[in-house]
A and B are shown apart, each in its own frame.
Chain A
């Protein structure tokens, strides 16, 4: 048996631009894992395709195989579970954004998703897919990192859970290994009296942010800060989590504290320049947005 011993067919449509690839559209997770076990060394998983297809069409990537998981309806779910929200690999951004149980359990999901590209992209793109893509400008990477969530990676015969801290290895590089399929992500809820927000500066509405962050502030019953953390996008190769709890715990939730946190964050990040923004500007935004975000999050925690 050759390498093509799975339900695959070569491209038939004559009006596409990618390099030739084998194509499999498994109907079950089991089948998908079987396919990936065979061709995973040189395969890409196709879910929403919002990042992958442009790359293929521009021939910037030329995987030998595409494994299309769009028929895996069993993975098209968003569930509020004990302690958080579980999102299946085929849940579109819009499903997560609009899910009331998910919002009730973790408002940050919707707060972040409203900044993910545009509605038409959110209609198709998947949340787990954007995590697997591991773009350090992707909002959902910061959410997974801030919540201390995890990704469930399955391969034929085994499953493992990878913590957010271990999942993002570098720009466009996740801990997923050849043969593995990210089947779901889990986003833990925050403790009571926690407020969250997602703020970013983007060049155009819906663009990848020049700088952005997810923030969470937890207040004690007496109104003082018990915990404050933020997770940044577009300022490093992976989402950058900074914990301000040591700085702010026990203090009143006020501007001076947020300002100090902004200063701390400014010093800790090592952003790089690109054609849209200088490193200095990004660092400056980290300070400004930290102050604003913590204030806003604290306001929602009260």
Chain B
């Protein structure tokens, strides 16, 4: 047998290209294209009163200036209509979306108002600088409290600023509280951050006037859907539009939103002008005109028994959705459902309000509402442990759903509109592995002795469950060419996940060929037109299984054709190293390349190999060259569409030390146990975990969006938005559990978001443990920790009960 590649830490085949500058990202394309630049609103909330372009008109190299009026005057398409509401939901009672260019009002700093097209970006920026927009400034709504108070409105016709309100209740929460011997209440806050891919967005459009066709390149997480949106907005037949995601330098969620204004405007302008047009987002634009996430306030009441078992959980939270809701209410829905983690909540009631503010829109960022939910739930677990004086791991374990209870139905509706049913997972085993990895008891003892010696050291623990691999579907096309090379195409996109390697491993295994003989293409509608996109840790599960299915159908066909050629039963054949042979009699064999030739009956020979398939070379003339139930070519297309998400899980533990004087926070150890089912490629999975933890460290200790009361983003650069450097990321210790999913034949679950989910929770847990007082808001900076210490000393921040008990003991 060819050695199995599934499960091997195969080096990523794409990396040589990427690290030697041959990656072809969006800005590497279209060197001769015209360049677009945008005049963006400097105000968070204003009416657009007048746009004066006069001063820009004499800029040499200027090609066009477009405002909303030009879109409205466009004879073809719907570019002037509001951008689509991508994911409607019955609870989203007041959805609002923006326009490609501001119509009469701007609702956040950075909203596009005027588009400039010029010979190059430099000229476009020069012209944009000269355009004078007169605004009638309106009072902005900034922050969740301001939105909730509704003293000001983001949208005139949404008086309470509430875009959506959703309540789910499982069991009788009121009765469960009545029967709870103990209760606790917590107020918890998480601030805004953002995906911040190193490559911003970018769009490059080529209009072919003679052919009436449009080719769009976009740095997107969904090329098929951008294609559909462009076709709809520009009133073009779908088959005249293609969209290609070239190499994409990270997405992390922000590029799943579509069509971005620029994804409509750039192709539209290309058609208007009959010229290639390109726009590449710069970092400042990304900060103020792409998407953010995470900002939520939570109020939680929990009822539990003396053993720390949950009996009732009542969660209310307020979600800041920014100025518009193009992506619906996916993020708060995920918080409300995934908050439950690996636990049985008893009776559960969750209610959220999604609020408009005059800030950048909020859409999923890696983790997508789970970091907030995990933070909330894990704060509850620590609070229960502290209240009862129990070991924090023990309290968690007592509330775990057990493997015997799988599949576990929470009787709620998940983000995909389907029942929230955990398909699998062994949470006690995950925790046991983590306790072993970190040496839980020894670490706690060590930390206690350090603390006794005056050091401030704490251990944090956090558990999460992540619904991955949501539908509706993905598909794949696999073809064996007459060279014997295998070409795989799947429609979803790649933004650094190593798909060219992991997908090739799957196809190579299924077909019995070498890894280097497989080439994978993603995100190119010319190659595969049906897809959803890469988000929600779904690519490996969805396309991985689709590729396996498609490859299996190709294998079956190859064996059948080879069986005819070798006069053997296909059941007796195997494919090893690209050669089909009779099991136990390897001399009777035929290369897969030859099988590919034979699969396509020919009249014309174009090379030596193809002669074998020509009409006078084929022996059997009893039937039609292509059988009734067959097709020419050694290829297959198949799809994977699951009944629901498959649920991965993981648990993190961290040891931190805080400086007693400067309040600096240092990570001493970071341990991860992760269960995403069988690993296709451990190297890639661990890379995903590393990247996730790095973003999580950023979200917990460094990054936030600092808006002032006027809605100005004060830190819209990498100088002041503190994305951690490599020097801030701890060494990460990882162990894996591989609990198979029963939902798909490969048994796999997603891993993309895992690393980032428990970060705020685990750091809050550790810092609280180190400091001895309650942490309720993340991220946290040394300056804030210093402030908390002062407030704690002044009696304004409560001590952990642990400290009270210690004081009592000392008496």
Contact = CB atoms under 8 A, between A and B. Distances in A.
A11 interface: yes
For B119, B126, B783, B787, the residue with the greatest tally of chain A CB atoms inside 10 Å of its CB is: B783
B125 A277 contact: no
B556 interface: no
Contacts of A17: 121-122, 125, 282
Given A17-B282, A205-B728, A206-B725, A11 B122 contact: yes
Interface in A13-30: 14-17, 19-20
B807 interface: no
A124 interface: no
A285 interface: yes
B715 A281 contact: no
Contact of B129 (A16, A19, A275, A278): A19
A14 B118 CA distance: 12
Nearest to A275: B706
Nearest to A277: B783
Nearest to A201: B662
Given A275-B714, A288-B661, A204 B125 contact: no
A53 interface: no
B724 A204 contact: yes
Given A203-B781, A275-B706, A276-B781, A281 B786 contact: yes
Interface string B103-131: 00000000000000001111001100100
Contacts of A59: 125, 129
Interface string B653-687: 00000000111100000000000000000000000
B725 A204 contact: yes
A208 to B, nearest CB: 8
A61 interface: no
Interface residues of A, number: 28
A205 B725 contact: yes
B122 A16 contact: yes
Contact of A201 (B121, B664, B702, B787): B664
Interface string A1-12: 000000000010
Contacts, number: 71
A281 B782 contact: yes
A285 B662 contact: yes
A275 B720 contact: yes
For B126, B717, B781, the residue with the greatest tally of chain A CB atoms inside 10 Å of its CB is: B781
A281 B706 contact: no
A14 B783 contact: no
Interface in A73-131: 118
A252 interface: no
B731 to A, nearest CB: 15
Nearest to A289: B662
Contacts of B787: 278, 280-281
B662 A204 contact: no
Contacts of A19: 126, 129
A54 B782 CA distance: 28
B706 to A, nearest CB: 5
A277 B782 CA distance: 8
Nearest to B35: A14
B284 interface: yes
Interface in A252-298: 275-278, 280-281, 284-285, 288-289
Contact of A206 (B702, B706, B727, B782): B727
Interface in B689-735: 702, 706, 714-715, 717, 719-720, 722, 724-725, 727-728
Nearest to B723: A204
A213 interface: no
Nearest to B708: A275
A276 B195 CA distance: 20
B120 A15 contact: yes
Contacts of A20: 126
A210 interface: yes
Contacts of B663: 281
Contacts of A15: 120-122
A281 B120 contact: no
A211 to B, nearest CB: 9
B728 A204 contact: yes
A221 B725 CA distance: 45
Interface in B748-777: none
Nearest to A288: B661
Contacts of B790: 280
For A11, A16, A58, A284, the residue with the greatest tally of chain B CB atoms inside 10 Å of its CB is: A284
Contacts of A289: 662
B204 to A, nearest CB: 15
A275 B790 CA distance: 19
Nearest to B282: A17
A269 B283 CA distance: 35
A288 B125 contact: no
A15 B120 CA distance: 8
Nearest to A281: B783
Contact of B284 (A58, A118, A205, A284): A58
Interface string B484-497: 00000000000000
A207 B728 CA distance: 12
Nearest to A291: B661
Contacts of A288: 661-662
A205 B727 contact: yes
B702 A203 contact: yes
A14 B120 contact: yes
Contacts of B121: 14-15, 17
Nearest to B721: A275
Nearest to A211: B662
Nearest to A279: B783
B725 A14 contact: no
A207 B722 CA distance: 9
Contacts of B122: 11, 14-17
A280 B789 CA distance: 12
Contacts of A118: 725
Contacts of B129: 19, 59
A228 B786 CA distance: 28
A204 B284 contact: no
Contacts of B125: 17, 59
B456 to A, nearest CB: 14
Contacts of B714: 275
A277 B781 CA distance: 8
Contact of B727 (A14, A204, A277, A280): A204
A289 B662 CA distance: 9
A210 B125 CA distance: 34
A201 B664 CA distance: 8
A242 B783 CA distance: 24
For A17, A19, A204, A288, the residue with the greatest tally of chain B CB atoms inside 10 Å of its CB is: A204
Interface string B397-429: 000000000000000000000000000000000
A203 B702 CA distance: 8
Nearest to A202: B664
Given A19-B129, A281-B782, A203 B722 contact: yes
B41 to A, nearest CB: 17
Contacts of B282: 17
Nearest to B662: A201
A54 B718 CA distance: 11
A58 B716 CA distance: 11
B786 A284 contact: yes
A204 B725 CA distance: 7
Interface string B267-284: 000000000000000101
Nearest to A118: B725
Interface in B776-811: 781-783, 786-787, 790
Interface in A164-221: 201, 203-207, 210
Closest 6 CB pairs of A and B: A205-B727, A277-B783, A281-B783, A14-B120, A288-B661, A275-B706
19 contacts: A15-B120, A15-B122, A16-B122, A17-B121, A17-B282, A59-B129, A201-B662, A201-B664, A204-B725, A204-B728, A205-B727, A206-B727, A207-B722, A210-B782, A275-B714, A276-B722, A278-B787, A280-B790, A281-B786
Given A205-B727, A281-B786, 4 more contacts: A58-B284, A207-B722, A276-B722, A280-B787
